[in-house]
Structure 1
């Protein structure tokens, strides 16, 4: 399956899903005017890829500096798709990257991790200014 690459804008995250390598990445900020319109193609591509047979490991790097509540729901949908893949036996790692002084983002990562039982969830401190 082809990769999915969507450049970041001032309101939407950068999406770099390298399906062949099993490496998924979101960067930047997420507060699009229309969350469904932005994340719809992302959900579609991820669902299609996860439906293909395979058991190669998946790594998802979540490197957002900020996201609104509508984006939080979209992120949870993404995480639930990955959780289902992990529950079915595919190794999945989510790396929740947050700047070392950003307690709010760290706490949000902890909150998300509580709903995921089958993925390996890692909170990663990044030096201030280290996230795109």
Structure 2
């Protein structure tokens, strides 16, 4: 398993999971019409990747500018999967990227971080308009 790439649309995030290098990334906005249909393949690929007992460190860059409550539940499921493997001893770093002055996304990141005990959580500020 090398990569899972899903291009961003107006309603769904871009997904770039480079499994070979342990670099996972989500970008854009997430408010799909059918959350289960969109995130189902993401969960399936991620589970397969995380089940590898010889897996190395994982770096997850979360660069979402907006997501709805249904997407928040899906993200929490992803974070819980990462927390489980981190608890088992695998190195996992989650970088929550927020645009400068976006206090609501910063607070959401802090809320998610409260549930993570074994995942290393980092907040990174981006200039308004997206990643540099």
Q: TM-score range by the shorter chain?
A: over 0.9
Q: Distance in 1 between matches of 2:130 and 2:69?
A: 24
What is aligned with 1:8? 8
Partner of 2:83: 83
How far 1:129 sits from its partner (Å)?
A: 1.1
- Where does the alignment leave 5 or more consecutive residues of structure 1 unmatched? none
The aligned residue for residue 56 of structure 1 is 56
| CA apart distance, 1:53 | 1.7
The answer to whether the Cα contact below 8 Å between 1:7 and 1:14 also exists between their aligned partners in 2 is yes
Alignment of 1:43 onto 2:43: yes
2:59 and 2:125 map into 1 onto residues whose CA distance is 17
SS of residue matched to 1:20: helix
- Structural RMSD (CA): 1.0
Q: 1:55, CA displacement in angstroms?
A: 4.0
Map of 1:70 onto structure 2: 70
Distance apart, 1:130 and its partner CA: 2.6
Q: TM-score by structure 2 length?
A: 0.97
Match of 2:131 in 1: 131
Please report how far the alpha carbon of residue 68 of structure 1 lies from its aligned counterpart in structure 2 after TM superposition: 0.1
| Secondary structure of 2:117's aligned partner | coil
Cα distance in structure 2, aligned partners of 1:10 and 1:130: 15
Normalising by structure 1, we get a TM-score of 0.97
Runs of 4+ in 1 over 2 A off after TM superposition: none
- Structure 1 position 14, deviation (Å): 0.2
